[in-house]
Amino acid sequence: MSTDQEAPESQVETESETIAEPYTELTEHEFTVDELKQALAQAEQKAQENWDKAVRIQAEMENLKRRTQKDLEDAHKFALTGFAKELLSVLDSLVLGLQAATGDSEDVKKFREGSELTIKQFESAFAKFKIEAIDPIGQPFNAELHQAMAMQAVEDAEPNTVVNVFQKGYVLNGRLLRPAMVLVAKAAEKKPTDSPSIDEQA
């Protein structure tokens, strides 16, 4: 009888252990999922940081590429800057020599013809290399392209207008090589009005 009574107690213990085991496994399983969620969140954050870094690097590379391309284009466009400035001095001398060549002798005529032809050749060569003259007579004064040598009141001229060009300016591909040296009109000074005469006989 005692043996029969002990059997149910062992069965109860076994059943209790069987019930406890799934509970323990479930608890461990939930803990592992939390860890995985945390690891996944960290991995996603790291991936986002790496993605942002990659996007920034790509943007910087594009900017560097554009800057390099522009620098190369500028180098090609303005490589002649120094050489062009030296040629302008030669052209200035030719123009001054032409202006100083006065007289009707055959030698003077030949010199003038030769100088004019040489100046035209200079202008033709300048045009090929995008060197353009600034001859702003009659135009409004522009401080970016013109250098005012003096101001003078001129009748029939709008104030702040270029009325004479002492020396032409030049640009290379739109960039200023040298400003035009100009005379600028200023507003005429108002003359004091005559005082009205007093009629003494009144």
pLDDT of residue 30: 53
* 148, pLDDT greater than 90: yes
- What whole-number distance in Å separates Cα of residue 185 and Cα of residue 152? 5
* 135, pLDDT greater than 90: yes
- Look over the chain and give the mean of its residue pLDDT values, rounded to a whole number: 82
List the domain range (segments joined by +) for residue 159.
81-186
pLDDT of residue 26: 45
Rounded to the nearest angstrom, the gap between the alpha carbon of residue 8 and the centroid of all alpha carbons in its chain is: 94
Last residue of a domain, one of 77, 101, 131: 77
* 103, pLDDT greater than 90: no
Last residue of a domain, one of 33, 57, 77: 77
* Structural tokens at position 104: 């009707």
- What whole-number distance in Å separates Cα of residue 50 and Cα of residue 37? 20
Is residue 200 included in any domain, yes or no? no
User: Mean pLDDT throughout 2-17?
Assistant: 51
* 108, pLDDT greater than 60: yes
- What whole-number distance in Å separates Cα of residue 55 and Cα of residue 53? 5
